[in-house]
């Protein structure tokens, strides 16, 4: 991992309020993998962590809605959860976390402005999965 990427990942950990010292080498690899989009053409990429991150977010959201709004019907909770755990929200969170400079992706994807939000959302969701594992 190059020095700039390592510094960027360290800054991200600080924004996530995670301690650099608490993470082992395996955790660094998982977080780096979460920020590697499939378009980069690397074997280790975000896809599996994105799947896990989606499940973690849905569970956390479901628990939150159950605790805060127990009288909502299942349908109402589902609709509310879908709004809370949306690609739009994930892309906004990724921008807030300043993930753009940390995401490894293919040149064509990086140049596609319409794909930018999707890539952000996917890698942000993968980051949730990575943090869950770390």
Catalytic sites, residue numbers: 54, 125
Contact 78, 63 (CB under 8 A): no
CA-based nearest residue to 19, from 134, 103, 96, 124: 134
For residue 102, give every residue at least 6 positions away whose Cβ sits within 8 Å of its Cβ, in sequence order, or none. 5, 8, 9, 12, 35
User: How far is the C-alpha of 128 from the C-alpha of 96, rounded, in Å?
Assistant: 14
Instruction: List the structure tokens of 49.
Output: 């962590």
Contact 77, 64 (CB under 8 A): no
């Amino acid at each position: 991992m190059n020095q700039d990427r390592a510094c960027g990942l360290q800054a991200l950990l600080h924004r996530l309020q995670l301690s650099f010292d608490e993470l082992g080498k395996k955790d660094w690899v998982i977080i780096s993998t979460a920020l590697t989009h499939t378009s980069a053409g690397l074997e280790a990429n975000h896809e599996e962590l994105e799947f896990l991150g989606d499940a973690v977010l849905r569970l956390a959201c479901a628990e939150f809605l159950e605790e805060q709004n127990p009288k909502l019907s299942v349908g109402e909770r589902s609709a509310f959860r879908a709004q809370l755990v949306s690609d739009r929200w994930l892309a906004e969170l990724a921008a807030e976390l300043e993930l753009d400079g940390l995401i490894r992706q293919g040149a064509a994807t990086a140049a596609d402005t319409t794909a930018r939000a999707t890539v952000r959302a996917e890698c942000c969701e993968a980051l949730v999965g990575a943090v869950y594992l770390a």
